[in-house]
Amino acid sequence: MVITGAGVACAIGVGKAACLEALRSGRSGIGPVRYLQTALKDFPVGEVPLSNAELGQLCGAPVQWSRTTLLSVCALREALDEAGLKDGTGMFLCGGTTVGGMDVTEKNWPSYSPHHGCGATTDLAALFVGGFDDATTLSTACSSAANAIILGANLLRSGKYRRVVAGGSECLSNFHLNGFHSLMILDSEPCRPFDATRAGLNLGEGAAYLVLETADSARERGVRPLARLSGFGNACDAFHQTASSENGEGAFLAMTKALRMSGLEASAIDYVNAHGTGTPNNDASESAALRRVFGSSLPPVSSTKAFTGHTTSASGSIEAVFCLLALQEGFLPPQLNWRTPDPACVKPCCGQADAAPRHILSNAFGFGGNDSSLIFSAYE
């Protein structure tokens, strides 16, 4: 199956062009809180650099809607435009979110918002953009958007649809920020994935969607694909509610399943976009899994969460768009903020401006060990 369109909104920019510039130049979007009304001002975040009013003006949607939905509409429209489609006619929308419309409920409490539910945010975006046959929402924490992409791919494989749109959206909320603070895994400084001094993550927000279609459908429409989704895998080791196992079993299983589906040897992977949250537990666990999969032939690895913050449920699709940009534009994103090696972790790459990756593995791991891996390949 092929990818014919992609759209993104995150801390480093709204739209693929802005994100490409930031990834190439090493410009992070993490900084002080600007829009979220929170008491936790000491923790930097990756906010989309537009207010709700500005997002509404940009996409034409009502500013009273959840920020999750406003971000969805922006990313959906860019993806459909790039694919040469005016709306979602004849397609299914697979969305991923966990926070949903929590931000609207927080503003109106004790009144309960009808936009509160995870499904409501996806459904509103689908109705506003128009044409979609139906929509569904997956909520598997930080693997939500990746799993939405897997669901969309399976709908294509089933023959039920020839084109789908899949991805995810997540806005910052107090529920969100306070929850991660209660786990004591927020860093008061910019996050440092895989660094020996790492102390936690920075929360982020954003949205991204991919237009997936069969190769036959793309040919019939005369559209040149951006890339192929050549493999994917999901596993759930259920090791712990929030922690990852020492040997990275769930991550290992997800990556090996993706490789098996793609028909590729591990040595064919040219770059790994790591889950890389910057927490002591995640980065050591993911490193153990990467070493199990790749042995001594580890490809370049970096985590783009040092650019965007951890966008939780949207991370799998936002980072999928970054992988597409790397394939199309011929570069590898650098690992920002890394300075001190940790024997428990892989040594991340410093970026490469003139690379020519053909196969990229992207990881998205969720609470409860719900781990997913996607492989994107250059279209030839």
Question: What domains does the chain contain, in order, with CATH numbers?
Answer: 2-221 (3.40.47.10), 230-378 (3.40.47.10)
Neighbours of 93 (CB within 10 A): 26
CB–CB of 323/149 below 8 Å? no
The pLDDT value given to residue 240 = 46
User: Which entry of 116, 176, 181, 310 is annotated as an active-site residue?
Assistant: 310
Task: Report how far residue 359's alpha carbon sits from residue 81's, in angstroms, rounded to the nearest whole number.
Answer: 25
Structure tokens at 68: 């999750």
The answer to whether residue 17 scores a pLDDT higher than 90 is yes
Strands 271-273 and 206-213, sheet pairing: unpaired
What CA–CA distance (Å, rounded) separates 190 from 44? 7
Answer yes or no: 171 catalytic: no
Residues 334-342, mean pLDDT to the nearest whole number: 97
pLDDT tens digits for range 183-216: 899 999 999 999 999 999 999 999 999 999 999 9
pLDDT tens sequence across 156-180:
999 999 999 999 999 999 998 999 9
CA 25 – CA 15 distance, rounded (Å): 16
Residue 363 reports pLDDT greater than 60: yes
CA distance 198 to 278: 6
User: Per-residue pLDDT averaged across 351-376, rounded?
Assistant: 90
Please report, for the chain, how many H helices and E strands are present, in that order: 12, 11
State phi, psi for 105 to the nearest 5 degrees. Answer: -60, -40
Q: Is the pLDDT of residue 55 over 90?
A: yes
Q: What is the mean pLDDT of residues 102-108?
A: 91
Task: Give percent of the chain above pLDDT 70.
Answer: 96
- The yes-or-no verdict on residue 245 having pLDDT over 80 is no
Q: Is 275 a catalytic residue?
A: yes
Percent of the chain with pLDDT over 90: 89
pLDDT one-digit tens code per residue, 282-293: 999 999 999 999
Kindly tell me if the per-residue pLDDT of 242 is higher than 60. Answer: no
Let me know the angle formed at the C-alpha of 110 by 107 and 115, rounded to the nearest 5 degrees. 60
Higher-confidence residue of 111 and 328: namely: 328
Contact 47, 205 (CB under 8 A): yes
Give the tokens for residue 282: 């995640």
Widest CA span in the chain = 56
Q: Please tell me the predicted confidence (pLDDT) of residue 241.
A: 52
d(CA 145, CA 321): 12
pLDDT at 250 (0 to 100):
87
Scanning the chain, the segments in alpha helix (DSSP H) are 16-25, 52-59, 67-82, 102-108, 118-129, 144-158, 174-182, 215-221, 249-262, 280-294, 305-308, 315-329
| pLDDT at site 380 | 84
Look over the chain and give the mean of its residue pLDDT values, rounded to a whole number. Answer: 94
Task: Please compute the mean of the pLDDT values over residues 226-235 and round it to a whole number.
Answer: 97
User: How many angstroms separate the CA atoms of 16 and 321, rounded?
Assistant: 8
* Among the listed residues 92, 148, 160, the one whose alpha carbon sits nearest the alpha carbon of residue 118: 148
Give me the pLDDT at residue 367, please: 60
The predicted model scores a pTM of 0.96
237 versus 321: the higher-pLDDT residue is: 321
Q: 88 pLDDT exceeds 50?
A: yes
Whether pLDDT at 34 is above 70 = yes
Question: pLDDT band at residue 244, thresholds of 50, 70 and 90?
Answer: low
- Catalytic: 240? no
The three-state secondary structure class of 209 is strand
Residues 275, 323, 345, 349: which is the catalytic one?
275
Cα–Cα distance for residue pair 224/57, rounded to 1 Å:
31
Q: What pLDDT does 158 receive?
A: 97
What pLDDT, on a 0 to 100 scale, did the predictor assign at position 176?
87
DSSP letter, residue 243: P
User: Per the structure block, which two tokens stand in for 290?
Assistant: 């990467």
pLDDT over 60 (residue 32)? yes
Q: Which of 59, 94, 142, 349 is catalytic?
A: 142
Look at the block and give the residue holding tokens 């499904």: 119
